[in-house]
Chain A
Amino acid sequence: MQQKPDNRLKIENLTVFRSELPLFEPVSFSMKAGEAIQIKGTNGSGKTSLLRCLCGLSHRHQGLIRWNDANIDDVKDDFYAHLLYIGHALGLKPKLSIEQNLDFYQQLRFTQDQAIILQALEQLKIGAYHDELVGNLSAGQKRRVALARIISEPVSLWVLDEPMVALDVEGQAWLERACNQHLADGGMIILTSHQTIEGINGLTELRLNETNWKETYLMDEGLA
Chain B
Amino acid sequence: MWTWFYQLASPKWFYQFSNKLLPWFRAATFILFAAGLALGLLFSPLDYQQGNTVRILYIHVPAAFLSMFVYVLMALSGGIGFIWRIKMAHIVSVSCAPIGAIFTLLALITGAIWGKPTWGTYWVWDARLTSFLILLFLYLGFMALHNAFDDRKTADRAAAILALVGLVNIPIIHFSVEWWNSLHQGATISKFEKPSMDADMLKALLTMIVAFQVYFVTVLLQRVKAEILLREKLSGWVKKLVTNQ
Contact = CB atoms under 8 A, between A and B. Distances in A.
Interface of A: 18-21, 60, 217, 220, 223-224
Contacts of B151: 18-19
A46 B231 CA distance: 22
A217 B243 contact: no
B242 interface: yes
Given A20-B234, A217-B234, A224 B242 contact: yes
Contacts of A220: 239
Interface in B127-173: 150-153
A88 B149 CA distance: 22
B230 to A, nearest CB: 11
B17 to A, nearest CB: 23
Contacts of A60: 153
B229 to A, nearest CB: 11
B239 A20 contact: no
B152 A19 contact: yes
* Those 6 A-B pairs whose CB atoms lie nearest each other, nearest first: A224-B242, A19-B151, A217-B234, A220-B239, A20-B234, A224-B243
Given A217-B234, A224-B239, A224-B242, 5 more contacts: A18-B151, A19-B150, A19-B152, A20-B152, A60-B153
Contacts of B239: 220, 224
Nearest to A20: B234
* Chain B: interface size category: under 10
Nearest to A216: B234
Nearest to B150: A19
A20 B156 CA distance: 13
7 contacts: A18-B151, A20-B152, A20-B153, A20-B231, A60-B153, A220-B239, A224-B242
A215 to B, nearest CB: 13
Contacts of B153: 20, 60
A194 to B, nearest CB: 26
A217 to B, nearest CB: 6
Contacts of A223: 243
Contacts of A20: 152-153, 231, 234
A224 to B, nearest CB: 6
A186 to B, nearest CB: 38
Interface in B191-240: 231, 234, 239
A217 B235 CA distance: 10
Nearest to B151: A19
A110 to B, nearest CB: 31
Contacts of B234: 20-21, 217
B11 to A, nearest CB: 13
Nearest to B232: A20
A136 B76 CA distance: 49
Contacts of B231: 20
A217 B234 CA distance: 7
Nearest to B242: A224
Contacts of A21: 234
B153 to A, nearest CB: 8
Contacts of B243: 223-224
A139 B152 CA distance: 34
B228 to A, nearest CB: 14
A91 to B, nearest CB: 22
A19 B152 CA distance: 7
